[in-house]
């Protein structure tokens, strides 16, 4: 395996929460149905994860937010589920493996993504 891209992003939990409160349809645009029912700190972490994925892929134009979803295994380990536009870009770059780390503390959420062949 070889690392193709690395992406890191931070998001203010308050800023994400306020933006969704001001524009409720924003949550529908950014997050999948399963993600929308999560608490604010988890939403901010998922927003950061989606941004980190875009950075790991070189920020290609035309990616859709719903085509990247953070899923959590039964034992609590987060991972990425990519479909559609994100999967298409990943395949074009030979990416078939993702690593994801999420954290939040002190009002900030952070995500790190590593994309590998």
Question: What is the Cα–Cα distance from 45 to 1, expressed in whole angstroms?
Answer: 27
Q: Given this model, what pLDDT does residue 22 score?
A: 97
9: left (phi over 0), alpha (psi -120 to 50) or beta: beta
Rounded to two decimals, what is the model's pTM?
0.95
Q: Given this model, what pLDDT does residue 59 score?
A: 87
In contact, 52 and 9? CB cutoff 8 Å? yes
**pLDDT tens-digit profile of 71-110?**
999 999 999 999 999 999 999 999 999 999 999 999 999 9
pLDDT exceeds cutoff 90 at 62: no
pLDDT exceeds cutoff 90 at 24: no
Return the CATH class of domain 3-116: alpha beta
Report the DSSP beta bridge partners of residue 101: 112
Question: What does the pLDDT average to over 32-53?
Answer: 97
Q: Given this model, what pLDDT does residue 83 score?
A: 97
Helix then strand count (H, E) for the chain reads: 5, 5
């Amino acid at each position: 395996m070889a690392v193709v891209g690395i992406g890191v992003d931070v998001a203010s939990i308050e800023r994400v929460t306020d933006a969704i409160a001001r524009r409720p349809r924003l949550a529908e645009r950014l997050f999948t149905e399963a993600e929308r029912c999560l608490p604010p700190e988890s939403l901010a972490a998922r927003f950061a994860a989606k941004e980190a994925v875009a950075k790991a892929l070189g920020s290609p134009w035309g990616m859709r937010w719903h085509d990247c979803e953070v899923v959590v295994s039964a034992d609590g380990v987060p991972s990425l589920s990519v479909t559609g536009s994100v999967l298409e870009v990943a395949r074009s770059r030979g990416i078939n493996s993702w690593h994801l780390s999420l954290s939040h503390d002190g009002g900030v959420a952070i995500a790190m993504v590593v994309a590998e062949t």
